[in-house]
Amino acid sequence: MSAIGVAQILAWGSSYYLLSLLAGPIAADTGWSLAWVFGALSVGLLVSGLVSPRIGHIIERRGGRPVLAASAILLCIGLIGLGLAPTLPVFVACWVVIGAGMGAGLYDPAFSTLGRLYGEEARPAITQVTLFGGFASTVCWPLTAVLAETLGWRGTCLAYAAIHAAVVLPLYLFGLPREVPSALVPKTVGAPAAGSLRADQRLPFLLLAAGFTLAYATMTVIAVQLPTLLQAQGLTLAAAVGLGALIGPSQVGGRILEMVFGRRTHPIWSLVASTVLVVVGILVMVGVSDVAAAGIILYGMGSGIRSIARGTVPLAMFGREGYAILMGRLALPTLLATAVAPLLGTWLLYRLGPSGTLLVLFGAAVVNAALVLPLIPIARRR
């Protein structure tokens, strides 16, 4: 579990969070527009979503160890390509490779691997991995800043590639146990195919998929546009950035609370708590700017707990068999929504302004609650 946790910090920090600090230097050095630089990340997220169902099938058949190891290799190759990219098309193509690595190596494949290793008892391990992942920006943003200052943006990409080869890949190869591929395990005659859903499971799965997709689209818009939304309420840029920085610690705090108090309850209650915290947090941000900090803390706690529920609720509702396949299916719409959400947020700001955008986000959070609440009696029967 610790091997996956440490690897998650480095994987998130060198992929999803990489351009947070490097986009400016890349644009300044190459002359490429910031829109295209960030657009390359969206391409990577789209690719990660598209490959996720296939990744789930591979993990279900072969186990998570080879898939996670392959993700380290893909991220290494993609980062080498970024460091050497002579043109924008090559730069974007490298993000296709990185996107495949993200699809094979971030939370969903990690959760699927833990589900195979620990079965129904995977919840504590999933929680602990999200605690590690919550420190990705805390660890890697300062590291990226130091590397960029000393090596430049290209050298930073090459340094992260070396880290994947020298640290992440060995962690996966030597820190995770080998599994017997399910393809070699005799199947019971007439048993349903792995990942197939019974008739009474299809509606809960659709509700869960719709809820996660809407929730992550909402959270992505907030992550990208929060400083702008706060400044529209009269805060200075420095104050808006300072308040935005509360989200990370709040996410970690929410995950710690879930680990302490949630382990004795059904995971559906963690999902419900996450949903309520996000609704109330956004409502506070919409209504009273003087207590925006409280709203951001509540929202951050809710988004942090949701990362845990994303792995634990499907396992509790649908079981270990076929879990990796179902996680891949859930990841597809979620990651696609994450990829297009920044563009949607920009369009909402242009058409509706900051106040209107916040109201839309609040409405989306309420709709998400309406999708989650019907799952309570269904989950408790299982």
Residue 5 corresponds to which amino acid? G
Predicted local distance difference test score (pLDDT) of residue 202? 87
Judgement on whether residues 94 and 227 belong to the same structural domain of the protein = no
Q: Which residue has the tokens 């709040």?
A: 250
Cα 133 to its chain centre, rounded Å, is 9
Burial bucket for residue 149 (CB in 10 Å: 0-12, 13-18, 19+):
exposed
Residue 126, in any domain of the structure: yes
Six-digit token string for 100: 């495949």
pLDDT tens, residue by residue, 359-374: 999 999 999 999 999 9
Predicted local distance difference test score (pLDDT) of residue 194? 56
Judgement on whether residues 332 and 238 belong to the same structural domain of the protein = yes
Judgement on whether residues 208 and 306 belong to the same structural domain of the protein = yes
- Domain end position, chosen among 184, 211, 226: 184
Q: Which domain holds residue 154?
A: 2-184
Judgement on whether residues 203 and 302 belong to the same structural domain of the protein = yes
Judgement on whether residues 177 and 203 belong to the same structural domain of the protein = no
Judgement on whether residues 46 and 102 belong to the same structural domain of the protein = yes
123: nearest Cα among 327, 381, 314 = 314
229: nearest Cα among 351, 344, 339, 356 = 356
- The CA distance from 373 to 370, in Å, is 6
The strand ranges marked E within 70-221 are none
Judgement on whether residues 214 and 144 belong to the same structural domain of the protein = no
Helix (H) or strand (E) run with residue 342 in it: helix 323-372
Predicted local distance difference test score (pLDDT) of residue 186? 52
Judgement on whether residues 129 and 245 belong to the same structural domain of the protein = no
- Domain end position, chosen among 184, 211, 234: 184
Residue 193, in any domain of the structure: no
Helix (H) or strand (E) run with residue 287 in it: helix 267-287
Residue 317, in any domain of the structure: yes
| pTM for this predicted structure | 0.85
Predicted local distance difference test score (pLDDT) of residue 193? 59
Judgement on whether residues 70 and 151 belong to the same structural domain of the protein = yes
Specify the number of domains making up the chain.
Answer: 2
Residue 268, in any domain of the structure: yes
Whichever domain contains 270, its CATH number is 1.20.1250.20
- Domain end position, chosen among 152, 184, 216: 184
Residue 191, in any domain of the structure: no
- The CA distance from 370 to 254, in Å, is 22
Judgement on whether residues 76 and 206 belong to the same structural domain of the protein = no
- The CA distance from 154 to 139, in Å, is 20
Judgement on whether residues 292 and 167 belong to the same structural domain of the protein = no
Residue 266, in any domain of the structure: yes
Judgement on whether residues 113 and 240 belong to the same structural domain of the protein = no
Per-residue pLDDT of the chain (382 residues; tens, 9 = 90+): 688 999 999 999 999 889 888 988 999 999 999 889 988 998 999 999 999 999 999 998 888 999 999 999 999 999 999 999 999 999 999 999 999 999 999 989 999 999 888 887 888 899 889 888 888 877 888 899 999 999 999 999 999 999 999 999 999 999 888 775 655 445 554 555 555 677 778 888 999 999 999 999 999 888 878 877 887 777 777 777 788 778 888 988 999 999 888 878 889 999 999 999 999 999 988 766 667 889 999 999 999 999 999 999 999 888 888 889 999 999 999 999 988 888 888 888 888 888 899 899 999 999 999 999 999 887 766 6
Cα 64 to its chain centre, rounded Å, is 18
Residue 75 corresponds to which amino acid? L
Six-digit token string for 185: 């395990």
Predicted local distance difference test score (pLDDT) of residue 46? 93
Residue 190, in any domain of the structure: no
CB 80 within 8 A of CB 158: yes
Tell me the CA distances in angstroms from 155 to 96, 215, 271, 291, one per residue in order.
Answer: 20, 36, 41, 42
- The CA distance from 52 to 368, in Å, is 23
For 173-209, give one letter per residue: b (16+ CB within 10 A) or e. Answer: eebbeeeeebeeeeeeeeeeebbebeeebeebbebbb
75: nearest Cα among 206, 190, 163, 172 = 163
CB 22 within 8 A of CB 148: yes
